[in-house]
Structure 1
């Protein structure tokens, strides 16, 4: 089995990850009547034994976040409980169990209404038959409904799965913010604070041991998949995990990173500068560690008409998760499986394009319209793929679309890209992507702007993972912002939180030389994504 080990680092990443695991859990076929999605679940899930010798199936995952963002999660998993210092049959020691106990030292947080419902014996709509997409039926009042936006306090509020005791890793108390996601915005924003937190994680937590145990129990680990909040202190934590955990243990291991970026809207100038520099340094550090990096822009109502404005994290993370699960499904198929190494080689066949892009359309109710329009580009600064783009590689996945329509859409996509052969690959699946409760499925209603909104239990979806010159726009935005800041301020300490050196958690002052070093690294990355008719210094930034 070619297993994948997962990391989720930060509140936004854990929102996306929670939706992703909920969807993956709904892909299980428990009876002969259930739809077989052709997924090899052992790729992502580990089989083990609980404290009562019952069989368990849990994500092969390490989740790190601010302590308060775990909500009531530690009180939910009763399969393992705590230990008395003895090692159980699953190989657990008292270390991870004590870690769970530390999560509960603060006043207990009550579980959400949805979690309370899950603990009851009432039927779950995820396993009810979708009758021709009619979500409203006579039994709706007896089934759990997605939490309202005001009811979603933490990502644990809508979590459906049990986690292994090795999974949960709260940051040490000195790095906790005020509350929930706002904590990551108010007090944990800079590269320096994240670097200090990473030093504490290495010395005060069991994360490295838990990573090694997860990796060692795998039959054949094909790679590691990370989701990281790039715009906060979790950026340097993600870079540290890759450089000092994964690459130390597996120097040639394949690593695929989804980097979630933050919005600058509503931030003061000093906070905006800090966010830009944190994202830029995280990007450079991850790429220098030989990863494939998929940046995802902050959510926008342009992504989907039904998204709230400003976008709600519960909704927007559900949209991102839907595309990530779909486009990476080939890595976890029973037959004709794509290896992570092959995917990374395709995206970076030129040798200097380790940045990639995510695009597509969810709830693809009108295929003919999709043929005429561009897909939403979740990685580009502008949101839609630009016309002056040279594609290098494209892999598209279509789910739940009739074969004839899928063929027509693929032909249209290939015509737009001009790619052929192994550089343009496609996958289809007749089954729609299931939306596990409490997924905010009304955002995918066929009539999102009408009063007749429905909550589909599954959707047709088109998702594409690609590499192209479009990535230069993101890199240009970084180099222009940093170059402008350097020309005015010169001193980089404000942007990086006051201290840390370019490579880690040291305390050297940030001066002009260090800023230029970061700019040079960004320019070096950008060279792989320039159009042939663009000069190396087209934006006039180099001196």
Structure 2
């Protein structure tokens, strides 16, 4: 079944994961008329039995959050109510005083799911916690509340990298988190594909994630581990806190990049977004919705029912594809929501369209693959889409450094990239672009280069659920409510080197003397890995040293 286990670390990551699980839940089909789902649900969901013998299907995930971070969600849900443990016998004979915290009210959206009523419109004002818009049940074993820190505390905020490192060490010493929380999900998997971790990298959760991955590597040395590294928008926060976040980020990258299979940083660019996206950057519900559209789309191939060739594209094979020289574990993610396209050259063919080479492309509910060895070398460049989520250099505090990083992005040398197109409009747009690039290649007569780009596509569009904010717009500025075609690229390229050098220059003076040299050297070593294997004197890779 090639199962994927998910780890969710912290409030922001749980917002992202809630969007992700809502999307996976939407792929379930019910009734004879609904047809077969194109998604293999066993990859991310586990079967089980509820307290009354009812068959259940719940996410293969472990959710960590601070005290107060779960909102109105209870550890024991309706499916497992009867299994709740009885209160222990009272051993104290004296007078007892019971203090109960006021429970958090269930959101109107959650009430509508429980009662079957029409769901109210969600807004940034009425989404208070990630559990307010969750559409799935979780197994009680998935819920892990960390009571050592409280969400939103001003006295002891969970924001320094070292706090997360120390918290993990303390908890692991008392409970062995691997045995208690993660191992049960791994052992019930028949053929685990890998582990994906959603975690902040610019706060204390970065330290927690780094120690967690270190423990995982001790026991599962060859298991593919992907980290989706979330960064909060920095607009409007004091300079001191902005510098703290950058320092946390530097530590996270230095530690995680040597341990994980892929680290995909996710941040909203500080500059203006494309007109197709309207985002409230102060709302984690909005921000993580944008992240999920890209993340869920670029990893779609890991869970689709498909032929043997497409099935071979697992987390491990994608890692091998992108990590060309063995040390390039940081990947850049970009996305574009695609407008409705006019019919391509396959007009009138019903369930089929033609590629840019005039070849027939199947539009079944499965991912298809095009070998880039047969595609013109002009495709071997860093694809530029509407929204670049991979930034490591935003708000560095130095306009000169930020400008240098942007220049490096324009001249970036591509090592490898995975391009995905989901939805018919995205497939047609990608096909037309491929045709244009092939014509350019013929016109200039460039020699074909080594394969660098790999394309996958599916007719399954990105669903727009009632739990999802209305962040996408059409050409006229109207809200898009129908399923959206989406294009994404996941790439390893030399822009990482420029960005890491800029990050190192900015934060190294803020790190304590005892760690300054180690962190600085580690970042320099990671950056150097994106310089190997190419010459700055080549025709298309110049000026990037």
TM-score, normalization by structure 2: 0.78
Residue 219 of structure 1 is matched in structure 2 by: 190
Match of residue 145, structure 2, among 160, 170, 177: 170
Counterpart Cα distance in 2 of 1:162 and 1:316: 23
Which one has the largest radius of gyration?
2
How far apart, in 1, do the equivalents of 2:429 and 2:226 lie?
31
Q: Which residue of 2 aligns with 1:533?
A: 536
- Tell me how far apart the structure 2 counterparts of residues 355 and 35 of structure 1 sit (CA, whole Å): 39
Inter-partner Cα distance in structure 1 for 2:76 and 2:488: 34
State how far apart, in whole Å, the 1-side matches of 2:100 and 2:454 are: 51
Q: Does 1:444 align with 2:472?
A: yes
Secondary structure of the 1:119 match is helix
Cross-structure match for 1:188: 158
Aligned to 2:109: 114
Distance 1:473 1:81 in 2: 53
- Measured in 2, the distance between the counterparts of 1:154 and 1:108 equals 14
Give 5+ residue unaligned stretches, structure 1: 87-103, 123-142, 487-491, 493-509
Q: Is the 8 A contact 2:76 2:140 kept in 1?
A: no
Q: Secondary structure at the match of 1:433?
A: coil
Tell me how far 1:301 sits from its aligned partner. Answer: 6.9
How far the C-alpha of 1:314 sits from its partner, in A, is 1.1
1:430-455 deviations in whole A, cap 9, x for unaligned? 23111222111x22232563xxx344
Distance 1:157-1:413 versus aligned 2 partners, 3 A rule: farther
Superposition deviation, residue 409 in structure 1? 3.1
Equivalent runs, 1:480-495 vs 2, <5 Å: 480-483=505-508, 485=509, 492=511
- Alignment RMSD (CA, Å): 3.1
Deviation at 1:378?
0.8
Offset, 1:83: 3.3
* Of 445, 452, 472, the match for 1:423: 452
Encode CA deviations 1:79-132: one digit per residue, 9 max, x unaligned.
Answer: 11263659xxxxxxxxxxxxxxxxx9632111111000000123xxxxxxxxxx
1:435 equivalent in structure 2: 464
Match for 1:361 among 332, 336, 360? 336
Q: Does 1:159 align with 2:154?
A: no
1:364–1:462 CA contact under 8 A, matched in 2:
no
Question: SS of the counterpart of 2:519?
Answer: helix
1:323 alignment counterpart: 294
Structure 2 residue runs of 5 or longer lacking an equivalent are 87-98, 344-378, 395-405, 538-542
Q: 1:349 aligns with which of 312, 324, 337?
A: 324
* Distance change (3 Å), C-alpha of 1:277 and 1:464: same
Q: Give the Cα separation in 2 of the matches to 1:34 and 1:301.
A: 43
What residue is the counterpart of 2:235 in the other structure? 265
Q: Deviations over 1:173-225 (max 9, x none)?
A: x311436xxx7x98111112112221233245574212000000000111100
User: Superposed, which structure 2 residues align to 1:68-79 within 5 Å?
Assistant: 68-74=68-74, 77-79=77-79
1:222·1:339 contact (CA, 8 Å) conserved in 2? yes
2 CA distance for matches of 1:347 and 1:107? 49
Q: For the structure 1 residues 32 and 476, does the alpha-carbon distance in structure 2 shift closer, same or farther, using more than 3 Å as the test?
A: farther
